[in-house]
Amino acid sequence: MKKIAAFLLLTLLSVIFVLPGHAKAHGVGMDIIRLVDKNQDDGMFNIHGQIGVAGDTAITLGFSSGDDLSILDGGLKYYFGRYLNSLFLGFGIGYYDHDVHGDDFGFVFALGYERSLTDFLAVSGSVRMVAGIDEEIIGYGETPVFQPTLSIMITF
């Protein structure tokens, strides 16, 4: 799983620098809540990125890894305004790999707001809903699970 994550991160960075995009539509960041939240596999290292593909749409890709759980998710983000300065909807698919309980695929949906703070820095907050994952794998008693996010992104 670690080799796949490294390959995907390298691919994401390559695509970001090769593809022409909209101004300030690309970004690489980290979810601070997932990093420190003990309810999410005792805190998880994570990185996510986005590539602007249309005037109001971006492709997203993320990787998270904790003590027993690794998550790879990808999807689309639709902005109701400008990139990095508006309300957004995100939806996609996540692959959850647990060391003990196996793996499973599920759906991810997010509703949030992004704000550009400077020319190269943006913050994002959202509520994510994760559904369709086996409860033993995700570590919660019932699904769907609602999770807060607070991300900091370097944008270009």
- pLDDT (tens digit, 9 = 90+) per residue, 46-63? 999 999 888 789 999 999
Amino acid at 124: S
Whole-prediction pTM value? 0.81
Domain span at 141: 2-155
* 8 Å CB contact between 88 and 78: yes
**What does the pLDDT average to over 92-108?**
93
Two tokens, residue 71: 């998550």
Cβ neighbour number for residue 108 with a 10 Å cutoff = 22
Number of domains in the chain: 1
Q: With bands split at pLDDT 50, 70 and 90, how would you rate the model's confidence at 7?
A: low
Tell me, what CATH number does 46's domain have?
2.40.160.20
**What does the pLDDT average to over 88-102?**
94
Provide the strand spans (E) within 4-143.
27-31, 45-52, 57-65, 69-79, 87-98, 102-116, 121-131
Residue 113 CB-density burial (10 A; 0-12 exposed, 13-18 middle, 19+ buried): middle
Lowest mean pLDDT among 32-41, 68-77, 89-98, 116-125: 32-41
